[in-house]
Amino acid sequence: MTATESELQGGFDQTLAHNDRIEPRDWMPEGYRKTLVRQIAQHAHSEIIGMQPEGGWITRAPSLRRKAILLAKVQDEAGHGLYLYSACETLGVSRAELTEMLLSGRQKYSSIFNYPTLSYADVGTIGWLVDGAAICNQVPLCRTSFGPYGRAMIRICKEESFHQRQGFELLMTMMRGTDAQRAMVQESVDRFWWPALMMFGPPDDESPNTAQSMAWGIKRNTNDELRQRFVDMSVPQAEALGVTFPDPELRWNDERGAHDFGTPDWDEFMQVVKGDGPCNRQRIAHRRRAHEDGAWVREAATAFAARSTTEVGA
């Protein structure tokens, strides 16, 4: 490392030590930049792919009210994707490159969106458990060390809170309905519980990125800490709803002041992450088709931007 480089590294370390933000024009180690691109891009892709499992239910919503709520939620996810792609672009990578990396499988998206949505109760369960897990993971990210990511997170978390509430309210309405509706909710919760726990990533002792990401202030908590927080938060909510979680080992531990719970099927997780889950192929094929269908919009926007620049120049 040259003298100038070590000065730059010193400035970067000091910013982190003071809990200040790193901004796009600040010097940063290449590893920090790459880790952020990886995590923010994966997060952005998750928001966009995450529109698919619920989006399919918009035309089949049981009432006008439910349709309006679901439409607004799915549109919010598109907005989250856009803030996050913009935050990622400040690190010197273009939206087109990021999309290409998603479509070619070089970048990932959250495992949870590779599971199917089989009934309308799944819209409620995704809101309650999937958005609930997302909030648990994302609230600490509002304090992440990279400015544009943290600021995007603040707005996203506000919207996710509405998503979580609408999911809980939908499920509560169904639980107050018929036996068939209650059974539909329980069946949905049974399918989504374990995949929701997997959203937090592998256990800490098998997570290759956590230690460095914590040292850089990108992550503020480990995967296991957040998973525990989510379990503790969800149990009383399940009791209020009148549903159970499919885990015989789930119980309050007085000594730890937290719930004990079983181990997710990490082989299934790895299989889904590697592209071999129930809906991986379908999700990517749909995303690719949507991207190709949108080619004319990108061409028109580029041509329009070029014309506007020429006119300004003239």
- Applying CB under 6 A, the residues found at the interface with ligand BYC are 38-39, 42-43, 46-47, 50, 77, 108, 110-111, 126, 130-131, 134, 137, 198-202, 207-210, 213, 219, 223, 273
Nearer to ligand BYC, 266 or 304 (CB): 266
Residue 54 beta carbon to ligand BYC: minimum distance, rounded to whole angstroms: 7
Nearer to ligand BYC, 54 or 182 (CB): 54
Neighbour count for residue 222 (Cβ, 10 Å): 19
Bridge partners, 259 (sequence order): 252
Nearer to ligand BYC, 15 or 138 (CB): 138
Q: Which residues of 227-263 are buried (b: 16+ CB within 10 A; e: fewer)?
A: bbbbbeebbeebeebebebebeebeeeeeeeebebee
Q: d(Cα 199, Cα 195) in Å, to the nearest integer?
A: 7
Say which residue the tokens 């919503």 belong to.
61
Residue 154 beta carbon to ligand BYC: minimum distance, rounded to whole angstroms: 14
Nearer to ligand BYC, 106 or 307 (CB): 106
Residue 311 beta carbon to ligand BYC: minimum distance, rounded to whole angstroms: 39
Residue nearest to ligand BYC (CB): 50
- Residue 263, sorted as left (phi over 0), alpha (psi -120 to 50) or beta, turns out to be beta
Residue 238 beta carbon to ligand BYC: minimum distance, rounded to whole angstroms: 19
User: If we measure between CA atoms, which residue out of 171, 186, 161 comes closest to residue 73?
Assistant: 161
Nearer to ligand BYC, 91 or 182 (CB): 91
Residue 314 beta carbon to ligand BYC: minimum distance, rounded to whole angstroms: 44
Chain centroid offset of residue 141 CA: 11
Nearer to ligand BYC, 133 or 241 (CB): 133
Give the 3-state secondary structure of 212-250: HHHHCCCCCCCHHHHHHHHHHHHHHHHHHHCCCCCCCCC
Residue 254 beta carbon to ligand BYC: minimum distance, rounded to whole angstroms: 29
Q: d(Cα 161, Cα 301) in Å, to the nearest integer?
A: 34
